Amino acid sequence: MLRFKNLGSGSTGNASIVEAQCGLQTTRILIDCGIGLKELERRLIQAELELSDVDALFITHEHADHVGHTRRVAGFLGIPVWMSQGTWLACDGLDWGFSGSQINVARDTEVFGFGALQITPFTVPHDAREPLQVRLSDGSVSMGLLTDLGHVSAHVVAQLKGCNALLMEANHDTQMLRKSGYPQFLKDRISGPLGHLSNDSACELARTLNHPGLGQVVAAHLSERNNSPEIVLECLSRALGRSADEIWVAAPDTGSDWVSVS
* Residues at the site binding Zn ion, with contacts judged by CB under 5 A: 63, 65, 148
By C-beta, is 55 or 148 nearer to Zn ion?
A: 148
Q: At CB < 8 A and 24+ separation, what contacts does 154-160 make?
A: 155/122, 155/123, 156/122, 156/124, 156/125, 156/205, 157/205, 157/208, 157/209, 159/109, 159/120, 159/122, 159/135, 160/135, 160/209
Measured CA to CA, the distance from residue 117 to residue 83 in angstroms comes to: 16
Q: Return the number of the residue (67 or 261) whose C-beta is nearest Zn ion.
A: 67
Min CB(52)–Zn ion separation in Å: 27
**What is the closest distance, in whole angstroms, from the C-beta atom of residue 119 to Zn ion in the complex?**
20
Shortest distance (Å) from residue 27 CB to Zn ion: 25
- Give the nearer residue to Zn ion in terms of CB position, either 138 or 148: 148
Which run of H or E residues covers position 146?
strand 142-146
Q: List strands edge to edge, sheet with 112-114.
A: 112-114, 117-123, 132-137, 142-146, 165-169, 217-220, 247-249
Taking the complex as a whole, the smallest distance from the CB of residue 60 to Zn ion amounts, in Å, to: 8
CB of 260: closest distance to Zn ion in angstroms? 26
Report phi then psi at 37, rounded to 5: -55, -50
CB of 171 to Zn ion, least distance (A): 9
Nearer to Zn ion, 3 or 61 (CB): 61
Residue 15 or 74: the one with the smaller Cβ distance to Zn ion is 15
Q: CA 149 to CA 199: how far, in whole Å? A: 12
C-beta closer to Zn ion: residue 27 or 180: 180
Angle, nearest 10°, between helix axes 70-77 and 37-46?
70
